[in-house]
Amino acid sequence: MTEREKMLHGHCYDSRDDELIAMYWRAREVLQAFNGRIDDRNRMTGLRSLLVGVESDVWIEPPFFCEYGAHIQIGSGSYLNVNCFLQDCANISIGRNVLVGPGVQICTASHPVKSSERIGEGNSYVTSAKPVKIGDRVWIGANVSVLGGVTIGDDVVIGSGSVVTRDIPSGVVAYGVPCKPQQIIAANP
C-alpha cells in the first residue's frame, strides 16, 4: 500500500513521501497562480486543473488554500469565501448549494496526543486523517473549524467561530466550542 493509499484509508502515513510531496508542490504552484490573479475573471480555470472534483459553477474566492487538491469534491452552486483552507489529507466532500464563510478551515489530519508517539524517526510526524462530509444547502459561518471524521447533514447552519468536532444532524442551527445543535430549522414547505 502506498503512503497516499494509507492516508486515504485512515492509516498512519509518512507525509514526507515523494508522491505526496510532489502533489503538495504542484498544489502550491496552482494556488500561487490562482491567489495572484484576484482581478482575473477566468482564475477558476487554472484552479480546476487541481480541483478536478469541483463542479463547473462552483465559485472560490482568493486567497484559497489546500493541501493537495486531489481529494476535494464540491457540488454545484457552492461558494467558498476568502481565506478558506481545506486540508485534504482525507477526502473532503462538500454538497450542493453550500455557502462557506471567510476563514473556514476543514482539517482532516490528526496526530497522536503523546509526543513520544507523535514524533517519528528523522523528526517526521506520525499522521493519520479522516474524511469530512458536508451535505447540501449548508451555510458555514466565518472562522469555523471542521475536524476530520465529521459529517454535517443537509440544511444545516453552523454559527461563526464554531469548532465542529462531532457529526451534526440535518436541519439544525449549530454553534459553539464544541459545536452542538441549538435549534431545529422548520422544514421548507
Catalytic residues: 111
Helix extents (H) in the chain: 3-8, 18-35, 43-48, 115-118
The strand order across the sheet containing 79-80 reads: 59-60, 79-80, 99-100, 139-140, 157-158, 172-175, 180-184
DSSP helix/strand/coil, 169 = coil
Residues for the chain: how many in total? 189
Phi-psi region for residue 86, left (φ > 0), alpha (ψ -120 to 50) or beta?
A: beta
